[in-house]
Amino acid sequence: MLFLPDLRKQARQLENELDLKLVSFSKLCTSYSSSRDGRRGDTSDTTPLLNNSTQDRMFDTMSVEIEQLLAKLTAVNDKMAEYTNSPGAAALNAALMHTLQRHRDILQDYTHEFHKTKGNFLAIREREDLLGSVRKDIETYKSGSGVNNRRTELFLKEHEHLRNSDRLMDDTISIAMATKENVTFQRGMLKSIQSKVNTLANRFPAINNLIQRINLRKRRDSLILGAVIGVCTILLLLYAFH
């Protein structure tokens, strides 16, 4: 039977592995969109299909690996929770209980980040497949009916509009991914600092009121930042589709 220090060590190792995997997973999503942009001018079908197939296999493999790591980390957290409920757990101090809660919060953050990145990847792939189908239909129509008729011109204009909108969306997603990585890094640093400050607060109750005021200020700033990002995203989407 593993003791609590061993379980905490396992949790930290799994968290480090998940952090590296999620960074690579996020870069795969970004590089997928960029590589599709680089191949749009290529009229050959063989190379894009081969490259897309390779990236799709990487996506499936990394998804399975991350899901397995999340399942392992969940199991370790459950074991630590069982340990705290066992006889003799009353001897655990508040700082240790806070550490256990922090492991659960990290698991929740990693799970949310994985599903969000996976959803973005699938959305990009679906949109690219749809645009590829439109381009193929246009090429088929051009080869069968010629380029100089009115319907072909309408198709080409609509296709150009879709390309411009898609390029703007890709730029927006790239900026959002870079911002997310920076925020995730800063969040990890802030959580580490907050853990140490909370430990001091448990020892010195006079500091607790100051920490609560800081947390309220931080929540307010997060809400304001989220509102600004949401408004900017809506404006970009409105600009892209009008």
Residue 71 confidence (pLDDT): 92
**Maximum Cα–Cα distance for the chain, whole Å?**
84
Alpha helices per DSSP H over the chain: 4-38, 46-84, 94-145, 150-203, 208-240
* Residue pointed to by tokens 């246009």: 138
Contacts (Cβ under 8 Å, ≥6 apart) of 167: 37
Contacts (Cβ under 8 Å, ≥6 apart) of 241: 165
Is residue 79 within 8 Å of 38, Cβ to Cβ? Answer: no
Residue 43 confidence (pLDDT): 46
Residue 60 confidence (pLDDT): 87
To the nearest whole percent, how much of the chain has pLDDT over 90?
4
What's the N-to-C CA distance of the chain in angstroms?
62
Residue 85 confidence (pLDDT): 67
Residue 126 confidence (pLDDT): 81
pLDDT in tens, 37-47: 555 555 444 44
What DSSP string describes 31-74?
Answer: HHHHHHHHTTT---SHHHHHHHHHHHHHHHHHHHHHHHHHHHHH
Cα–Cα dist 205/12, whole Å: 29
Whether the full predicted model's pTM is greater than 0.85, yes or no, is: no
What's the angle, vertex CA 155, arms to CA 149 and CA 160, rounded to 5?
130
The ranges of the chain with pLDDT < 50 are 1, 43-50, 147
